[in-house]
Amino acid sequence: MEFYRAHVLVCGGTGCTSSGSTDIIDKFNDELQKHGLQNEIMVVRTGCFGLCEVGPIVIVYPEGAFYSRVEIGDVPEIVSEHLVKGRIVTRLLYHDSITEEETIKSLDEVGFYKKQMRLALRNCGVIDPENIDEYIAFDGYKALGKALTEMTPDQVIDTIKESGLRGRGGAGFPAGLKWEFTRNAVGDKKYVCCNADEGDPGAFMDRSILEGDPHSVLEAMTIAGYAVGADQGYIYVRAEYPIAVKRLTIAIAQARQYGLLGKNIFDSGFNFDIELRLGAGAFVCGEETALMASIEGRRGEPRPRPPFPAVKGVFSKPTLLNNVETYANIPQIILNGPEWFRTIGTEKSKGTKVFALGGKINNTGLVEVPMGTTLREIIYEIGGGIPGGKEFKAAQTGGPSGGCIPAQHLDTPIDYDSLTQIGSMMGSGGLIVMDEDNCMVDIARFFLDFTVDESCGKCPPCRIGTRRMLELLDKIVSGKGEEGDIEKLELLAKNIKASALCGLGQTAPNPVLSTIRYFRDEYEAHIKEKRCPAGVCQALLRYIIVAELCKGCGLCAKHCPVEAISGERRKPYTIDTDKCIKCGLCMEKCPFNAIIKK
């Protein structure tokens, strides 16, 4: 084997791939060839480093130099300066990775990573996900070997139960219990499934794990198969995740070649294999009963439970279903023991949680923190705060099923139960930050619009009820809200939650309810004063010329397409709000910023 003196790690996650990292890899290989360095320096395509915002990202070891926003034109310089002469190209380093003395900080010292704890993401951005040897080098498949050769299925289940691991797909059901139910269910054949549907808008946690560390999921599913007595696994992944699908396909082939999938694994007599099932990308197919119907090739519609999948799942056989991130934790728990896992997190929520941080935040990206970390730490320390010095207003967790967390709860330690208590939920891990410029009614409308679109239509409360709610919200944001609308929303919400067939409908009203709970005054301003306090809802906006600032140049009047502005030269102009069509042109054109919208 060659001894490589340096490794160039280039992010091959979806974010960086779309900003050109594939070309950057090619360019590195070309340039290394040119300098005759191809046998000394290795180029590795990894999964997501989490800081997608400043991608494409390149990390050079052994120095650990963290280059961000690398363009193809920068590659020759990195090669000739850093790799040939050992001079780090400081101007390309991620701003927060350099100390005041201009030396490189180690990655755990960088603000973005300092408070993070990467368990599920431990290999993302570290290994080449298309090379099983690199996974094995970082203790991969050792947990499987241990389970198959040293543990009984019951011991495996006890370990998972003791660890306190709860499902990361949304509801937070204890994983070990689910494994036990499936083991105890009677059936001549059983299945193990992985939910990689990830349909929440803005979520990309599971995708990143599959792209960056696909073997961890394969290993965990195989362990689960041994524990519950299944010999067949299915990964249900959306076809819109082409990179994840490709890496999974490669990983499955490599695992089969090494005999880590297939017959008689670790000479234990245990057989297990995994197949992919591609989903078409309907949100409802993430719901477990719909997902199983879809795996069988039927239409992805939910059915009433019980029977639960553990009793009657895929092809009516007992089936274990867990989320990608839930699985990604399993090998570590087997290797390090349940006691170790229990030391991380809060009393009732053990371990870590991955969040996709988005919205009004400086470091958009993927973060993993111990349960119990506060929202303030995530937003201000890891996320680097809100751009433009704006005021924090709320964070939305749990996507279309969740709710918002207002400023007064910034210091709540985040775990399953605390989030439910304050009217939101953990969900799968989308975390969208909103500032003073976000209108909460508009946010609620956005999520409800999503669920109305994604409702499968099978049950009336969801199909019709959520549409009625959306109509009410539309009315409010367009300035036609009436006294009593808020109460109507609340009543509809209550009934839908109680009567919808599946989780999609049952949770769809949550974003509306939680925004009413914390921002009722904003709803009232829309309804009673026909005013949008955040200045978002177009229909409620008014363009006004501030007389003290207006110099009377007349530019605005010239550009107004509907001649709504009038006035005399050198005197303040005025806008006729009845004629105004709110195009905003005047505001753009005024050289003195005399026009405001309110």
**Site residues, ligand FMN (CB under 6 A):** 167-171, 173, 195, 197-199, 283-284, 286-288, 321-323, 326, 428, 502-504
Residue type, 333: I
Q: Which of ligand FES, ligand SF4, ligand FMN, none lies near 551, with the C-beta cut-off 5 to 8 A by kind? A: ligand SF4
The structure tokens 């290993």 sit at 219
The structure tokens 């009516």 sit at 316
Query: What Å distances lie between residue 544 and 438, 536, 574, 592, CA to CA?
Result: 21, 15, 7, 13
Q: Which of other proteins, ligand FMN, ligand SF4, none lies near 326, with the C-beta cut-off 5 to 8 A by kind? A: ligand FMN
Return the range that interacts with ligand FES (CB under 6 A); candidates 52-60, 61-69, 229-237, 420-428: 52-60
265 beta partners: 270
Q: How far is the CB of 585 from ligand SF4 (least distance, A)?
A: 4
The contact pattern for ligand FES, residues 201-230, with x = CB under 6 A and - = no contact, is ---x---x----------------------
Q: Which of ligand FES, other proteins, ligand SF4, none lies near 51, with the C-beta cut-off 5 to 8 A by kind? A: ligand FES
Q: Which residues contact 556 (CB under 8 A, 6 or more apart)?
A: 545, 565, 573, 585, 586, 587, 589, 590, 595
Q: What are phi and psi of 457, to 5 degrees?
A: 90, 0
Q: How far is the CB of 425 from other proteins (least distance, A)?
A: 36
Binding site for other proteins (CB under 8 A): 1-7, 9, 40, 42, 61-64, 84-87, 126-127, 133-134, 136-139, 141-142, 145-146, 149, 258-260, 265-267
Q: Which of other proteins, ligand FES, ligand SF4, none lies near 482, with the C-beta cut-off 5 to 8 A by kind? A: none
The contact pattern for ligand FES, residues 57-96, with x = CB under 6 A and - = no contact, is x---------------------------------------
Integer Cα distance of 587 and 167 in angstroms: 50
Integer Cα distance of 252 and 260 in angstroms: 9
The structure tokens 């056989």 sit at 317
The contact pattern for ligand FES, residues 408-437, with x = CB under 6 A and - = no contact, is ------------------------------
273 beta partners: 232
Q: Which of other proteins, ligand FES, ligand FMN, none lies near 274, with the C-beta cut-off 5 to 8 A by kind? A: none
Q: Which residues contact 204 (CB under 8 A, 6 or more apart)?
A: 14, 198, 356, 366
Nearest residue to 397 via CA among 478, 511, 234, 487 = 511
551 binds ligand SF4 (CB under 6 A): yes
DSSP tag of 171? S
Nearest residue to 84 via CA among 39, 123, 35, 130 = 35
For residue 247, with 0-12 CB atoms within 10 Å meaning exposed, 13-18 middle and 19 or more buried, which class applies?
Answer: buried
- Give contact residues for ligand FES (rule: CB under 6 A): 11, 13-16, 48-52, 55, 57, 204, 208, 366
- Give contact residues for ligand SF4 (rule: CB under 6 A): 543, 545, 550-556, 560, 562, 564-565, 573, 575, 580-586, 590, 592, 594-595
